[in-house]
Amino acid sequence: MTERLYFLDSMLFSCDATVISCAPCEKGFLVELDRTVFFPNKGGQPCDTGVIGDAAVSSCDEQNDRLLHLCNHPLEPGTPVKVQIDADRRFDIMQQHTGEHLLSWCAWKLFDATNVGFHCALDYATLDLDKPLSHDQVLQMECLANREAAKNAAVTAKEFETEDALAASGIVLRKHAEGLIAPIRVVSIEGSDSCTCCAPHVKRTGEIGQLKVIGELPYKGGVRLTFLCGMRALLHAQHIQDAIDAIALSFSTGRDNAVSAVEKQTSELSETKKVLRQAYAALDESIAKELAKKAEIIRGVSVLVEALDHVDMKRLRALALKTASKKSFCALFSTIDDTIYYVLSSNGIQHDMGELSKAVNLALGGKGGGRGSLAQGSSVKKNDFNETLDQLRHYFYQII
Ligand SMILES: [Zn+2]
């Protein structure tokens, strides 16, 4: 069985070892060593990557009791090799993982919330709690976790041969994972958290750096918190600061006034939209009256086929409805930049507008549809649009 050196020293990033076995697999070669510093994909976090001799190791997995390193080329069994993991990657993951212990302890201590899930990716980590927390509670939890981290308390691991030995130790566990096979490994933070865990951790809480919760989402009756520790938290803060500064610059104001500047403009925009809606409503009443005068009575049906400029789809539909009479058909087109929008609307006649829209799509080379008394669509504007409109008008006059 491979000796797992990460249990002895989490900051040991290299070692000498001997290749025990090597077998080809779909993605490369699975290499087993007599000892290793590689931590596998386990416990919701990604494995270490690195090198064994001159072979690159892209993954490491546990199969039964074996640790298998996925290498890009074979290594001869019996060969002595130098083993080296990506130290930056390992340290970053240990920061997130140990941060998760502290955040979980704070949630438990402050709100009696239990950690029921953890996932660590290479750019974020999530922690699931079994009860919902308000934003203020999350902030309290975050503050306490940072205060605890600043104490630079020792993080230690201890193994117990039996459950009885663990019980006799007097350690109060925040969490005891189920189905563990002895020895039971307990990771403790001096003065706060203790729980069962199999992963490597930083040695003192100061090494976690800053802990920052950046997302809160309801999840399975509780909450899923997305958080960042250490350099991840710093890079996130830099990114957010740059974004706010860019917003502030666009308003010609300072960072501290950016939010109020956005709120003020949002309010002004909302008022402007309201005034614009009222102005368009008055304008469209007038346009509808003029359009109604252009309708032709074809076999007892009022038929209107007209093209407008810069009227969006919503206004086009409203205009079509405003021009409706007891028995009517209306085909309105509008050009905005290089796009033609159309609406087909009817009242008191048998034709299905969805069927008629197929003819319009064919004529314009566009797309759209509908059913019953309403259909709509759009196309790219072509140079011969006026001729196409005349053809469509003629077609509608024939079939209505
Ligand atoms: Zn842990």
Q: How many angstroms separate the alpha carbon of residue 43 from the centre of ligand 1?
A: 8
CA of 29 to the centre of ligand 1 (A): 29
State which residues have CB under 5 angstroms from ligand 1, the bound ion. Answer: 197, 199
**175 has a pLDDT exceeding 90:** no
* Chain centre distance of CA 69: 31
Closest alpha carbon to 320 in 351, 341, 297 = 341
CA angle 247, 248, 252 (to 5 degrees): 120
| 145, 102 contact by CB (below 8 A) | yes
State the distance from the centre of ligand 1 to the C-alpha of 372, rounded, in angstroms. Answer: 62
Centre of ligand 1 from the C-alpha of residue 210, in Å: 18
Mean pLDDT of the region 35-56: 97
Domains of the chain: 3-85 (2.40.30.130), 91-238 (3.30.980.10), 283-399 (3.10.310.40)
Cα 163 to middle of ligand 1, angstroms:
19
Rounded to the nearest angstrom, the distance between the alpha carbon of 223 and the centre of ligand 1 is 20
DSSP state of 74: -
How far from 367 is each of 151, 340, 353, 362, 370, CA to CA, in Å?
A: 65, 11, 14, 8, 11
Mean pLDDT score, 159-170: 92
For 121-159, how does the pLDDT look when each residue is reduced to its tens digit (9 = 90+)? 999 999 999 999 999 999 999 999 999 999 999 999 999
Worst-scoring range by mean pLDDT, 47-61, 150-164, 167-181, 309-323? Answer: 167-181
Residues 73-131 pLDDT 10s: 999 999 999 999 999 999 999 999 999 999 999 999 999 999 999 999 999 999 999 99
Q: Specify the pLDDT at position 56.
A: 98
**Cα of 366 from ligand 1 centre, angstroms:** 59
Q: How far is the CA of 65 from the centre of ligand 1 (A)?
A: 20
The whole-number pLDDT of residue 113 equals 97
pLDDT in tens, 300-320: 999 999 999 999 999 999 999
Position 1 scores a pLDDT of 86
Q: How close is the Cα of 321 to the center of ligand 1, in Å?
A: 65
Q: 338 CA distance to ligand 1 centroid (A)?
A: 59
Closest CA to 41 of 119, 96, 98: 119
Which residue is associated with the tokens 């993080």?
Answer: 155
* pTM assigned to the model: 0.78
Judged by DSSP in three states, 24 sits in: strand
Please report the DSSP string for 100-168 in residue order.
Answer: HHHHHHHHHHHH---EEEEEE-SS-EEEEESS---HHHHHHHHHHHHHHHHTT-BEEEEEESSHHHHHH
Q: What is the pLDDT of residues 217-273, one digit of tens each?
A: 999 999 999 999 999 999 999 999 999 999 999 999 999 999 999 999 999 999 999
Taking CA atoms, 65 is separated from 1, 4, 32, 185, 331, in Å, by: 7, 11, 11, 16, 74
